Amino acid sequence: MVIVNSIIANSMNAAIVGARQGLDKASSGITQSSINIAQRSAQTTLEEQGPGQVLANASLQGLKNVRAVLPTAERSVTDDLVSLKLNSINAQASAKVVDVANDTVGRIIDILA
């Protein structure tokens, strides 16, 4: 019985750790895709309207400095939208693994109690 309990505990721990890693990776992907989309949107607005219309002449130099500091997007908006959706699905799947692992532990505790 001790060996069975150990195997179950190890399996549950592995499932929870794997799910946590999946959530962390999905969260990082969602964050990066969102940043890329926001940067691209800000750059497009600036390019379309021109800096003279966006800010007064006194702040024009400050805007150029900020724009030079922002990293450029290396991927297309389509790539970022697909990545955002994919990471969202991965987060949902990992959360489901956590739910199933939690339910399984609860059942095991009920059986052993």
The tens place of each residue's pLDDT in the chain, 113 residues long, gives: 556 566 666 777 888 888 889 999 999 999 999 999 988 876 786 677 766 554 544 466 666 777 778 777 677 888 889 999 999 999 999 998 888 888 887 787 777 76
Three-class secondary structure assignment of 9-67: HHHHHHHHHHHHHHHHHHHHHHHHHHHHHHHHHHHHHHHHHCHHHHCCHHHHHHHHHHH
Q: What is the pLDDT of residue 32?
A: 93
Cα 84 to its chain centre, rounded Å, is 7
Q: What is the pLDDT of residue 57?
A: 42
**How far apart, in Å, are the Cα atoms of 94 and each of 49, 76, 108, 109?**
42, 27, 21, 23
Radius of gyration of the chain (CA): 24
In the chain, what are the domain boundaries? 2-112
